[in-house]
Amino acid sequence: MPELPEVETVVRGLRAPLVGRRVESVWLERDRVIATPGAAEFSVRLPGQTFRAIERRAKYIVCRMDQDVFAVHLKMTGRLYVTDPGQTHPDDRWARFKLALDNGQTLCFSDARRFGRAYLADSIEAIAPALGPEPLEDAFTPAVFKTRLEGRKKMLKALLLDQSFIAGVGNIYADEALHRAGLHPQRSADSLTDAEIERLYNTVRAALTDGIDYEGASINWYRKPDGSKGESQEHFFVYDREGKPCLQCGQPIVKIRVAQRGTHFCPSCQPER
């Protein structure tokens, strides 16, 4: 599933073609792609509204329209892209909705697995009320991170995946951050020292920032809006490197399951306590 760096890259790629464009009409492949307020209302409420800003909140693409917030969650295989008049795109075979724009272009959402969803509401909070803080914002300080860890007993990998704890981190960047911090993914959050808390705070932000700089990880379905791949997968320390030598110590990377997710780590650099 695309995580914070991938979604941020999509957001940045959509701003130029969409901001200032007005929605003329809506086409839906099936009603269930609209999570709220329902397909019929969505189809009459969105046309006539103009894209005023495109932002990211956690793993949501958030489009601020004239009256509403139009949001998309890509889930596992969703892609957003803009096509020119008469253009056929390879991903159109999985198109789930299309928005005709006032300049003749079309905003398309393709999704082979059909898990992605679109939303129309008065705020992102109405769509996803329980999201935690954004880990790259200035307001998310080491002190905030330490306070949010207080009383938490979850394993570190499971906690980093909890979107109510911090927003936007997923399987890839949790593994990468924990490796950089030298912390075993099954360590309990309440076992961390102050120095380890600060180290994890820094590595979470560093892993996400690097992911954005490399424009996301194209290891499965994720592509940028122009169809090209991101490069984060070329710079992983542990994720998707089971059996390969650790780039720091040379020991083989191990894969286990934590919180029902495949989890990669180096037993030497990330020892159990």
Return all residues near 110 (Cβ < 8 A) that are at least 6 apart: 78, 79, 81, 89, 91, 92, 93, 94, 95, 96
Return all residues near 191 (Cβ < 8 A) that are at least 6 apart: 273
Task: Choose the catalytic residue: 3, 8, 176, 215.
Answer: 3
Q: What torsion, rounded to 10 degrees, do the Cα atoms 100, 55, 214, 181 define?
A: -150
Q: Check if 2 is active-site.
A: yes
Q: Check if 234 is active-site.
A: no
Task: Choose the catalytic residue: 45, 57, 59, 223.
Answer: 59
Task: Choose the catalytic residue: 2, 5, 17, 185.
Answer: 2
Q: Check if 59 is active-site.
A: yes
Task: Choose the catalytic residue: 22, 24, 261, 267.
Answer: 261
**What proportions of the chain, in percent to the nearest 5, are helix, strand and coil?**
30, 25, 45
Handedness of CA 20, 23, 29, 35 (dihedral sign): positive
With tokens 């991170």, the residue in question is 145
Q: Check if 3 is active-site.
A: yes
C-alpha 121/C-alpha 72 separation (Å) is 12
Catalytic residues: 2-3, 59, 261
